[in-house]
Homo-oligomer: A and B are copies of this chain.
Amino acid sequence: MKPTLPRGTRDFTPAQLLKRDFIFDTIKKVFKKFAFAPIETPTMENLSVLTGKYGEEGDQLIFKILNSGDFLLEPKNKNIELQQVDSKKLLPFISEKALRYDLTVPFARFVVMNRNDISFPFKRYQIQPVWRADRPQKGRYREFYQCDADVVGTDSLLCEAEIVLMIHEVMQHLGIKNIEIKINNRKILSGITEIAGSFGKETDICTAIDKIDKIGIEGVTKELFERGISQTSINILLPIINFKGNNSEILYFLKSALQNSTIGTKGIDEVEQVLHFIDQFGTQIDALKIDISLARGLSYYTGAIFEVKALDVQMGSISGGGRYDNLTGLFGLDGVSGVGISFGVERIYDIMEELNLFPQTDNSYSKILLTHFDVASMNYGMKIVANLRSSNIAAEIYPQVTKIKKQFEYANAKSIPFVAVVGETEMQNNTVALKNMLSGEQNIVDKDNILEYLQLK
């Protein structure tokens, strides 16, 4: 049989992991600098924790795990009439657990379960894979990593400012410099619906607006109408949402447009305060743009909304987040406001590949290969390798006696930068013949000086 991988999943080779780790390490370093601490949650969550948190569509994309053992024989299942059930009815009888769908809901669950041991405001980051039974396509996988940072237990807008700073710094360090950090506020969107006489329809309106990039202003108009927004409302809504300008112009325009909406005015104040805090931190972030049409699908945002796009490539957002006022309320803990950001590693990886942004460092996991001609020279080489390792050099010896050509081929295939050759002459003189595989340069080096030689090169 020829083995295969499940659709939408991937193996990672050493070369790919080197690049992925560069991304993870960069993000982690910034999170840590801002005093976020890591947590990890289990791959499996109870279905009761996940179900109903991602909308009906989301629920269907959750990978469910079969109960273990003889799941049809469980006592509670003795009345199940199999001939009558459909998949949905059967599910509760045979599955109680599922794979993590995102990191936000498990984090809310974590906060609620550990509330007595956590000191608030609680700043955590979390870098783990999530799973979605989505239709796989280019750049979309069924298993992929999320890198999240959230602060919960404070509604201070200073946290929003810090999130913008973190986004900015992560992108700078990754080398993705031409970006747009979009910011909006759910309260502004609420204010607009209020002004337009369709208050309470935020979800419909946001869902439609969310597609503005894909279907254009006309498509949005059509969808709004289909969702029961009156033409009068649409006529008020759209010019506001579609207003373009720099941040000052947008704020000036909104203040007038939403002056009769308390919640809208509050949203504008919040955005202004975030901008002010960023100033106070002393960083100028030209990439930060207010975008009134930014809604993002998730309906749990209550304040700031963020989204990051790389401008040099055609691709969806590479990071997004916002403030949610009552996420832990889902699990019975009210009054814990939070704000967070999530980086999409898979898209960041693709962008960095496309723009050739990964650092051109030595990508070999092995620094030197010791080659030999016979048992005697192999034995001689083993001590040399042991010595190099004791100085923390990733060193290896070809593990069996074979043609020197084959050993060099191995070094080439693995991009090992140095090969030491040991033959009779070298053994007699306590040396090795050391070849720089990149330059082709070859030198006879005293066996105790290899370390110095490698460090110089």
Contact = CB atoms under 8 A, between A and B. Distances in A.
B331 A3 contact: yes
A39 B13 contact: yes
Interface in A232-253: none
Nearest to A49: B3
A143 B43 contact: yes
A119 B389 CA distance: 22
Given A281-B382, A383-B282, A2 B42 contact: no
A131 interface: yes
Interface string A84-110: 011110110011110100000000011
Given A1-B331, A1-B332, A410-B119, A87 B71 contact: yes
B11 A394 contact: no
A383 B123 CA distance: 20
The range of chain A's interface size is 35 or more
A365 B35 contact: yes
Interface string A135-152: 000000011000000010
A444 interface: no
A46 B13 contact: no
Between A42, A81, A119, A385, the greatest number of chain B beta carbons within 10 A of the residue's beta carbon is seen for A42
Interface string A1-30: 111111001111110010000000000010
A69 B64 contact: no
B66 A392 contact: no
A43 B5 CA distance: 10
Contacts of A42: 5-6, 9-11, 143
A285 interface: no
Interface in A303-353: 331-332
Contacts of A97: 6
Given A87-B71, A400-B154, A43 B131 contact: yes
A201 interface: no
A29 B409 CA distance: 26
A38 interface: yes
13 contacts: A1-B331, A3-B48, A3-B112, A6-B45, A6-B46, A9-B44, A33-B389, A33-B394, A63-B66, A72-B87, A123-B396, A281-B383, A281-B385
